[in-house]
Amino acid sequence: MKKIGLVGGVGPASTVEYYLGLIQKCQKELGMSVYPEIVIDSVNMTMHDKALREKNYDKLCEYLLASLSNLKAAGAEIAAITANTEHIVWDMLCDNMPLPVVSIVDAAVHEMKDRKLERVLVFGTEFTLRSGLYEKALRSNDIYPIIPTEEDIAIIGNLIYPNLENGIVIAEDRRKLIELAEKYIITEKADALLLGCTELPLAIKENDVRVPVLDTTKIHINEIYNKALA
């Protein structure tokens, strides 16, 4: 099995989910005695967020490429970025990646196509939803993306930052997220909810809404596992 490298810290809570998730996936599939080799380069999330707010995508690429280089130097043979938002600059990264990197967006789209989904509600950070990241990816694969209004994007963003991003789940915030999702599911006739932020699964679980919930963290972990074994 290839040694796995994770660009972590964006945010810290989801990085823990990736680390434990990969170990649990390996033990489930390969036996309890199997522990994958994993290295994590935990970045300064504040610097990443500043680059995103200023739309300084060259700087964000610089940060990500430096982290990927650190992972390669530590012996990683395959890598992943433990966040959806950083994939905004995926196309800019592709030509310069120092090692193979598993895309969370590609993994999510493959899952949606396998499930033959047609209309998917997308939740995520303000950066992700306003960038058109999933909107473009879904449309190019004949899946209709349901994106919240600007007002609701801001509400979702405030429910993610700063608490959920740091692993703090507040009951009232969780209730608001679920109610907001249900509103769009009903009015827009969505057949699934995509959690396009790796912290959202801390607040929204399968069966919390009336349609399937697509957890991009779990989907990404499964794809990293498969690629590490390939």
Q: How confident is the model at residue 21 (pLDDT cuts 50, 70, 90)?
A: very high
CATH code that applies to domain 4-103+218-229 = 3.40.50.1860
- pLDDT of 130 reads 96
CA distance 160 to 197: 9
Tokens representing residue 92 in the block: 């800019």
CA distance 189 to 114: 20
* Mean pLDDT of all residues in 7-30: 95
Would 4-103+218-229 and 105-215 be classified into the same CATH topology? yes
> Would the pLDDT of 166 be above 90?
no
> Would the pLDDT of 72 be above 90?
yes
Contact (CB, 8 A) for 97 and 84: no
Tokens representing residue 103 in the block: 């895309």
* Coil, helix or strand at residue 169: coil
Q: Which residues of 49-86 are buried (b: 16+ CB within 10 A; e: fewer)?
A: bebbeeeeeebbbebbbebbebbbeeebbbbbbbbbbb
Mean pLDDT of the chain: 96
Classify 105-215 by CATH class.
alpha beta
* Mean pLDDT of all residues in 13-39: 95
The pLDDT tens digits of the residues spanning 190-229 come to 999 999 999 999 999 999 999 999 999 999 999 999 999 9
- pLDDT of 167 reads 87
The pLDDT tens digits of the residues spanning 118-149 come to 999 999 999 999 999 999 999 999 999 999 99
CA distance 26 to 6: 16
CA distance 75 to 72: 5
Contact (CB, 8 A) for 198 and 177: no
> Would the pLDDT of 186 be above 90?
yes
Higher pLDDT, 37 or 32: 37
**What ranges make up the beta strands (E) of 91-137?**
101-102, 119-124
Contact (CB, 8 A) for 126 and 84: no
Domain residue spans of the chain: 4-103+218-229, 105-215
Q: What is the pTM of this model?
A: 0.95
Q: 1: buried, middle or exposed (CB in 10 Å: 19+, 13-18, 0-12)?
A: middle
- pLDDT of 165 reads 84
